[in-house]
Structure 1
Amino acid sequence: MNKSLNSRLRQELHVGAGLIVPGVANALAARIAEQAGHRVVMVSGAAIANSYLGMPDIGLVSVSELVDHVAAVREAVGIPIFADADTGFGNALNVRRTIRQLESAGANGIMIEDQTSPKRCGHFDGKSVVPTAEMVGKIKAAVDARQDDDLFVLARTDARAVEGFEAAIERAAAYRDAGADGLFIEAPLTCEELLSIPRMCPGVHFCNMVVGGKTPLLPRDELATSGFAAIGYANAGLQAAMLAMQKMMRHLHENGSIEGAENQVLMFQERQAALDTARYRELEMRYA
């Protein structure tokens, strides 16, 4: 199954595809994304840090926690999964082990970035990056470590905030030449920068639309026309869920009941349908 999904992911990711890739924090979010019609999801490191740890995205998630989340998502959905592996959890040798673990857990694509460790959210200030040669070594290690050549290695650079836009383009080209299947220049600051990336550095490009972040939010058609293969919304679902939870918790605290806010929750039967409860009941009847 993993091999066929690896191939399927590669078929989805071509120049100009403009595929929307929502970020998910857990298996529940992945189920909801799949049910909404999305064809690929990304297990977001930031989303895990925020939802599982209740902490900001500053490199606190461990590789074992990420692997466990990817495995749970793999069991929950039948679509390709990207795993956000941050900096690879160490040097090039650590990257090899990280790739093997995530591939075994069910990831079909894996993203690694060139920040120093501990990393920061791509839209935070105060980032720093490793030398280009060090990241090139990590990419080569990732490519060599994969058990299936169709596993998609996505190389991200955060150099825009540190070394400037031109340097970020140069790094992306170096990472492509090192064997990365896809490229992601994080946090360009203007529409002109964002839209010029696929032209300035030919390849299979990913971009990230962060609501409230540093990059302008552009529609899918415009991004696809400029050449982007995938358009990530790494934390839009999580941000929506957090807002909904804040509203409900405040309502309960202030009113002492849910009265007046019933339309803000998924009804019991709808919740069970989203969780595929009927299938588990069938299995229970089969084996009980």
Structure 2
Amino acid sequence: MAGLFSSTVTPTERRRAFRDGLNSGRIQRMPGAFSPLVARAIQEAGFEGVYVSGAVVAADLALPDIGLTTLSEVAHRSSQIARVTDLPVLVDADTGFGEPMSAARTISELEDAGVAGCHLEDQVNPKRCGHLDGKEVVPVELMLRRITAAVNERRDDQFVICARTDAAGVEGIDAAIERAKAYADAGADLIFTEALHTPADFEKFRSAVDVPLLANMTEFGKSDLLSAGQLEELGFNAVIYPVTTLRIAMGQVEEALGEIAATGTQAGWVDRMQHRSRLYELLRYNEYNAFDQQVFTYSADSYQPTFTR
């Protein structure tokens, strides 16, 4: 991460690294980042990638995950996150923010944002959280048009287009498997199998589908919380933890605010906070100061502004 203001690893290099990781035999672990600073912490912790959750972008705007966020909001947050990390960034692009032509524009915008890939889902637009009941999925033919439009618009052939299917909770696992095969045939590089329940479900999906697979290990959802090692043994290629960092942060924030409201002081929380020195370390304060000292070389006495009449 040599650059102070942006990663020196190009988007294409990160996309290639993501593809290589998916085919490496080692599961790619991708925690969700609700801010650029969290993305930097994810890289420093040694993970293989960063995930940008649509539910988290919405929650950070105090909105529910029901398709209210816009492409520009998601692309902007994704660009901010991709800028600060060398890791591949995978983005939740919901249904493509519309129908096939909108899905094509989504690919263009997210390529420009510098991310490694995105996933499009087969829910009816506007969508619902994938682990809630009452979801609806579109006909296979419509999802194939979304994927085809996305593939045709892609300019960098390293950009990863992932197809998410929510059909397991609506039509059953067998139908979801058939959809996944069709989506792969249409050009999807990666399949996101949403809301499977047990290890047997994951194993059944893996044995039937011959493309890289992504698992969602979100808390309080339909799926058993399997470890990365378990998922790797089952043959899955990537795993996301979409809302984990936000839930941890907000849980601590609410608890601390309650205590401060009750006691009038944050003193009891000081030992549980990230220390200022660690925050400065993540922010790379020393490197910015060194850069500033190199370029800010004039003194007030020697600087003579030029005035024009």
Same fold, TM-score > 0.5, yes or no = yes
Letter paired with 2:209: C
Please give the residue correspondences for 1:71-82 in structure 2 after superposition, counting only pairs within 5 Å.
Answer: 71-82=79-90
Report what 1:272 is aligned to: 280
Cα displacement string for residues 31-74 of structure 1 (whole angstroms, at most 9, x for unaligned residues) = 111111112111111111111x1122111111000111011112
Report what 1:102 is aligned to: 110
The alpha-carbon deviation at position 138 of structure 1 amounts to: 0.9
The alpha-carbon deviation at position 256 of structure 1 amounts to: 0.5
Letter paired with 1:143: V
Report what 1:234 is aligned to: 242
Report what 2:167 is aligned to: 159
Cα displacement string for residues 229-283 of structure 1 (whole angstroms, at most 9, x for unaligned residues) = 0011111111111111111111111111112221111111111111222222223
Partner-residue secondary structure (3-state), 2:262:
helix
Please give the residue correspondences for 1:127-146 in structure 2 after superposition, counting only pairs within 5 Å.
Answer: 127-146=135-154
Partner-residue secondary structure (3-state), 2:155:
coil
Supply the distance in 2 between the matched residues of 1:4 and 1:182 (Cα, whole angstroms): 18
Letter paired with 2:13: S
Is 1:91 matched with 2:108? Answer: no
Report what 1:42 is aligned to: 51
Name which one, 1 or 2, has greater alpha-carbon Rg: 2
**Structure 1 residues without counterparts, runs of 5 or longer:** none
Supply the distance in 2 between the matched residues of 1:96 and 1:269 (Cα, whole angstroms): 44
Report what 1:54 is aligned to: 62
Superposition RMSD in Å: 1.2
The alpha-carbon deviation at position 15 of structure 1 amounts to: 6.8
Segment drifting more, 165-174 vs 17-26 = 17-26
**Mapped contact 2:202–2:234 kept (Cα < 8 A):** no
Which one of the candidate residues 291, 295, 299 is aligned to 1:283?
Answer: 291
Supply the distance in 2 between the matched residues of 1:196 and 1:263 (Cα, whole angstroms): 46
Which one of the candidate residues 16, 26, 30 is aligned to 2:35?
Answer: 26
Supply the distance in 2 between the matched residues of 1:226 and 1:25 (Cα, whole angstroms): 29
Letter paired with 1:164: G
With the length of structure 1 as denominator, give the TM-score of the two structures: 0.96
**Mapped contact 1:26–1:43 kept (Cα < 8 A):** no
Cα displacement string for residues 97-116 of structure 1 (whole angstroms, at most 9, x for unaligned residues) = 11001001111111110111
Cα displacement string for residues 138-176 of structure 1 (whole angstroms, at most 9, x for unaligned residues) = 111111111111111110000111111111111001001
**Mapped contact 1:15–1:205 kept (Cα < 8 A):** no
Report what 1:175 is aligned to: 183
Aligned residues: 287
The alpha-carbon deviation at position 132 of structure 1 amounts to: 0.5
- Highest RCO, 1 vs 2 (Cα 8 Å, sep ≥ 6): 1
Partner-residue secondary structure (3-state), 1:163:
coil
Alignment identity in percent? 37
The alpha-carbon deviation at position 284 of structure 1 amounts to: 2.5
Letter paired with 2:243: N
Is 1:188 matched with 2:213? Answer: no
Report what 1:6 is aligned to: 15
Cα displacement string for residues 194-235 of structure 1 (whole angstroms, at most 9, x for unaligned residues) = 222111212100000111111111122221111100011111
Supply the distance in 1 between the matched residues of 2:64 and 2:97 (Cα, whole angstroms): 17
**Structure 2 residues without counterparts, runs of 5 or longer:** 1-9, 297-309
